[in-house]
């Protein structure tokens, strides 16, 4: 046990981290930025392991009062049809919509039509965890320093389809590789706010989606930086770890399975109208992997849930990232488990740095008094990058370390396939 809640912090990185230029003309690198952004991790000593930290999230607290305006986006992809919602952090308002989460109301058409701006304020695009939304307490704790207390940031949250009281309007649901809605929002933000540097942060399942997105975009990514928090990375390994222990299966997997089953029940009419899912079978599932077997394999055509987990995992996507990328993980996380963290991949890509804490649980990191540690390194990193780093001087290039082999080969880290090429 770490002494009196003081967690050990370790940085995993490439031998030569990405070089960065500061606005004052001096030089630094991605590792130094991450080190400077990461404070001491002193957690509540009474919550001395990952299970206690994680379970403490069930203790209800109000969290920072973040207000949102919601906009429904029509998907612009010919295959991934339907709608999804984006919640924008705004000044406090008194509008009440009983169908939406607290402090959230819709934009009027006129107000949203005028949302575009030529300002250069940094903007953060956020992805929540499984079955969550913009209302999640861990998310609001994170963005509060950026939008409250004279924060200079603009923030929006992309809600997964059906989550946070959004409607399901097609047969396209979200999954752990569902990058298409995020991609559309990033492109929209770049067009609507051409001078804003865009950043991304994802939590848990949202971290996996964000990592896949950044890897898929590679050198063409429109984000200036991204942060992955409590990413499960290798979903097959994480799933097996959940099923291997009593708490993993009977608490975490059961709770997540129940929340997803409830989500489907909330959208019963839409599910029956737009999909070929067996609603009655879904309502009989107990664990998360059973839900994925009934929903993800049927929706996307995977032969098994394990095939889905392997395809949707973001561990290999680390190798394709070409923007500054920080990952934060707790080694005692009982959901995004230690064995699923791709340490070696982080050592091969200079654009990435992994920060691990020996304590913290799953998106918990509770400190004495109820505060949380994770917002501080996240906000420190974002502010450092936006305020001190010359972002225009970062030139993405394919300089990740390549394996030496006796054959002429090509490895696609996003599709996780190795081809031997004809000489």
Domain ranges of the chain: 3-234+314-418, 250-312
CA dist., res. 69 & res. 110, Å (int):
13
Position 421 scores a pLDDT of 74
The Cα-based distances of 124 to 75, 112, 320, 379 in angstroms read: 21, 18, 22, 11
266 by Cβ neighbours in 10 Å (0-12 / 13-18 / 19+) ranks as: middle
**Structure confidence by residue, pLDDT tens digits, 233-243:** 999 999 999 99
Q: 320: Cβ–Cβ under 8 A, 6 or more apart, which residues?
A: 214, 215, 216, 218, 400, 413, 414
Could you tell me what percent of the chain has a pLDDT over 90?
A: 87
**Structure confidence by residue, pLDDT tens digits, 61-107:** 889 999 999 999 999 998 899 999 999 999 999 998 999 999 999 99
Position 408 scores a pLDDT of 64
Measured at the CA of 302, the angle between CA 296 and CA 304, to 5 degrees, comes to: 85
166 is catalytic: no
Position 151 scores a pLDDT of 77
Active-site residue among 311, 333, 364, 374? 333
Averaged pLDDT, 418-422: 66
Other residues' Cβ atoms within 10 Å of the Cβ of residue 85: 26
What is the average pLDDT score of the chain? 94
The Cα-based distances of 113 to 107, 110, 118 in angstroms read: 9, 5, 14
Active-site residue among 128, 141, 289, 362? 362
**Structure confidence by residue, pLDDT tens digits, 26-47:** 999 999 999 999 999 999 999 9
Q: Which two tokens stand for residue 11?
A: 């940085």
Answer positive or negative: Cα dihedral of 298, 303, 305, 309. Answer: negative
Measured at the CA of 14, the angle between CA 8 and CA 18, to 5 degrees, comes to: 110
- The overall longest dimension of the chain from CA atoms, in Å, is 68
Averaged pLDDT, 369-375: 94
Position 399 scores a pLDDT of 55
22 by Cβ neighbours in 10 Å (0-12 / 13-18 / 19+) ranks as: middle
Position 287 scores a pLDDT of 98
- DSSP assignment letter at 248: I
Tell me the three-class secondary structure of 305-370, residue by residue: HHHHHHHHCCCHHHHHCCCCEEEEEECCCCCCCHHHCCHHHHHHCCCEEEEEECCCCCCCCECCCC
Q: How many residues does the chain have?
A: 423
CA dist., res. 165 & res. 159, Å (int):
9
Averaged pLDDT, 252-269: 97
Partners of 155 in the β-ladder: 124
Q: Which two tokens stand for residue 163?
A: 């989550």
Could you tell me what percent of the chain has a pLDDT over 70?
A: 96
Position 62 scores a pLDDT of 87
398 is catalytic: no
Partners of 69 in the β-ladder: 88, 105
362 is catalytic: yes
| Fold designation for 3-234+314-418 | Rossmann fold (3.40.50)
Residue 417 has pLDDT above 90, yes or no: no
Q: In what order do the strands lie in the sheet with 67-74?
A: 9-13, 352-357, 325-330, 225-229, 198-203, 123-127, 154-159, 83-90, 67-74, 104-106
Residue 332 has pLDDT above 70, yes or no: yes
**Structure confidence by residue, pLDDT tens digits, 262-295:** 999 999 999 999 999 999 999 999 999 999 999 9
Other residues' Cβ atoms within 10 Å of the Cβ of residue 190: 14
Averaged pLDDT, 305-331: 97
Which SS3 state, helix, strand or coil, does residue 313 take?
coil
Closest-CA residue to 77 (of 157, 161, 150) = 161
Averaged pLDDT, 354-381: 97
Residue 418 has pLDDT above 70, yes or no: no
Taking the alpha carbons at both ends of the chain, their separation in whole angstroms is 55
Averaged pLDDT, 336-362: 98
Position 2 scores a pLDDT of 75
Averaged pLDDT, 330-343: 98
**Structure confidence by residue, pLDDT tens digits, 146-171:** 999 767 999 999 999 999 999 999 99
Active-site residue among 131, 166, 204, 314? 204
Position 406 scores a pLDDT of 62
Full-model pTM: 0.95
Position 412 scores a pLDDT of 84
Residue 400 has pLDDT above 70, yes or no: no
Which SS3 state, helix, strand or coil, does residue 200 take?
strand
Q: How many helices (H) and strands (E) does the chain have?
A: 16, 14
């Amino acid at each position: 046990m770490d002494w009196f809640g003081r967690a050990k912090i370790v940085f995993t990185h490439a031998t030569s981290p990405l070089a960065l230029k500061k606005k004052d003309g001096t030089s630094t690198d991605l590792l130094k930025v991450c080190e400077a952004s990461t404070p001491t991790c002193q957690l509540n000593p009474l919550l001395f392991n990952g299970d206690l930290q994680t379970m403490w999230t069930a203790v209800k607290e109000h969290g920072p009062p973040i207000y949102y305006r919601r906009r429904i986006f029509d998907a612009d992809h010919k295959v991934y049809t339907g709608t999804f919602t984006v919640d924008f952090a705004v000044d406090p308002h008194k509008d009440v919509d009983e169908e939406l989460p607290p402090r959230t109301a819709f934009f009027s058409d006129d107000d949203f039509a005028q949302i575009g701006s030529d300002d250069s304020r940094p903007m953060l695009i956020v992805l929540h965890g499984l079955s969550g939304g913009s209302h999640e307490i861990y998310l609001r704790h994170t963005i509060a320093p950026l939008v409250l207390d004279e924060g200079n940031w603009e923030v929006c949250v992309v809600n997964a389809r059906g989550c946070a009281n959004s409607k399901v309007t097609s047969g396209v649901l979200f999954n752990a590789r569902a990058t298409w809605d995020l991609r559309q929002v990033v492109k929209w933000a770049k067009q609507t706010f051409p001078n804003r540097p865009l950043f991304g942060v994802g939590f848990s399942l949202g971290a996996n989606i964000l990592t896949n997105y950044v890897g898929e975009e590679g050198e063409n990514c429109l984000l200036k930086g991204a942060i992955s928090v409590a990413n499960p990375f290798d979903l097959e390994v994480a799933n097996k770890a959940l099923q291997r222990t009593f708490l993993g299966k009977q608490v975490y997997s059961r709770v997540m399975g129940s929340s997803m089953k409830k989500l489907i029940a909330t959208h019963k009419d839409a599910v029956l109208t737009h999909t070929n899912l067996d609603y009655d079978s879904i309502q009989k599932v107990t664990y998360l992997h059973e839900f994925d077997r009934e929903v993800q394999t049927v929706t996307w055509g995977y032969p098994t849930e394990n095939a889905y987990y392997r395809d949707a995992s973001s561990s290999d996507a680390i190798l394709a990232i070409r923007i500054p990328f920080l990952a934060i993980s707790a080694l005692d996380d009982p959901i995004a488990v230690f064995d699923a963290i791709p340490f070696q991949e982080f050592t091969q890509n200079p654009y990435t740095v992994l920060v691990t804490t020996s304590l913290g649980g799953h998106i918990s990191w509770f400190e004495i008094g109820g505060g949380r540690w994770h917002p501080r390194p996240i906000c420190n990193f974002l502010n450092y990058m936006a305020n001190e780093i010359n972002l225009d001087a970062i030139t993405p290039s394919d300089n990740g370390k390549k394996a030496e082999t006796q054959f002429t080969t090509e490895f696609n880290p996003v599709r996780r396939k190795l081809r031997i090429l004809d000489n």
